[in-house]
Amino acid sequence: MTCPICTDELETLDTVQTPCGHQFHRVCLARWFNAGKQCPMCRAPLPNMPTFTLAQGRKISKSLMYNADLLLLCALFEETLDIKLEEIRQYKDELQRLDDELKKRKNHAAKKSQKKKTKKARLNKQRTAIKS
């Protein structure tokens, strides 16, 4: 069975059931509850002071919904953090690539400069030989 909101598998410990009988992840329903006060499946009104039933038959109170909101915030923070860490990795890879390119160009410029110096020294030597 999957959560109708996120379509991920429902796990019994993380599942809540609305008064109309539909099951969702706690965090998904908390997110939905913040957006609208209707069941995401049948649009039945959800109570203002939400008390939902856990899959095992226990009740979940508003304080647990608040905890679900905190879990949602933590999940969103972790997701944002993961995205930012990936961006940092990409910037680091790009910086390394640019650093490698700079080293290649400096090396190429140094070789070119050395060739130019060698050529100039050879020409000076030839000029000196011609003058003598």
- Return phi, psi of residue 51, to 5°: -130, 105
Q: What is the pLDDT of residue 122?
A: 92
Select the more confidently predicted residue: 9 or 62: 9
For the four alpha carbons of 72, 74, 78 and 84, in that order, the dihedral sign comes to positive
pLDDT tens digits, residue range 100-130?
999 999 999 999 999 999 999 999 898 888 8
Q: What is the pLDDT of residue 56?
A: 47
First to last CA, the chain: 98
Bridge partners, residue 38, by sequence: 45
Fold for domain 12-131?
Answer: Herpes Virus-1 (3.30.40)
As to burial, measured by CB atoms within 10 angstroms (0-12 exposed, 13-18 middle, 19+ buried), residue 53 is: middle
- Name the residue ranges covered by the structural domains of the chain: 12-131
pLDDT tens digits, residue range 17-36?
888 888 888 778 877 877 77
Q: Are 16 and 60 in contact (CB under 8 A)?
A: yes
Q: What is the pLDDT of residue 95?
A: 96
Q: Report the length, in residues, of the chain.
A: 132
pLDDT tens digits, residue range 49-102?
444 544 444 454 455 555 656 666 676 677 778 888 999 999 999 999 999 999
Q: What is the pLDDT of residue 10?
A: 85
